[in-house]
Amino acid sequence: MLCPPVLDDIRNDYWPHIVNENFMLDYFTDLDFLKNQVATLENFNLLCVFRNPTCHFEKSPTDAFDFVGYDLVEAQTGISALTNCGGFPEAFSNSELSPRGLLEDFGRALEVKDRLSSRYPDDPHANCDLWAIYRASAK
């Protein structure tokens, strides 16, 4: 739910170029292949995402993407615990979120992730993956 997919279907030739795990079929692992698939499209966001990163990178490894923030995405449904679950005041304040609805500090994102699971152990929306989100640099 980070962004709606711009490619309508998963074609057979996509399989070697996408993540084949936990129904994450809209995530490509081959940037050049993806760029060829969207070459004729306009007005979309091209994102680079990392699930559960172990450290912060200001730029993506390819330097083709700029860092925009961290989201905490509920593992089961893929919705954002930061913006789509009605709030978790014992874990974070909505005032901490960037204009994009994201956390900007890696350490704070890890802390919020831990607080969600420790302070809301019975809430399924508190079982989250940390996602680092980068957007294609303007050219």
Which residues are within 8 A (CB) of 100 and not within 5 positions of it... i.e. 6 or more apart? Answer: 68, 69
User: How would residue 23 be classed by pLDDT, with cut points 50, 70 and 90?
Assistant: low
How would you classify the pairing of strands 65-74 and 47-51? unpaired
Band of residue 139 on the pLDDT scale cut at 50, 70, 90: low
Mean predicted confidence (pLDDT) in 14-25 = 70
Tens of pLDDT, residues 39-77: 898 888 888 889 999 999 877 777 789 999 999 998 888
pLDDT tens-place string over residues 75-114 = 888 889 999 877 899 999 999 999 999 999 999 999 999 9
Nearest Cα to Cα of residue 71 among 45, 25, 106: 106
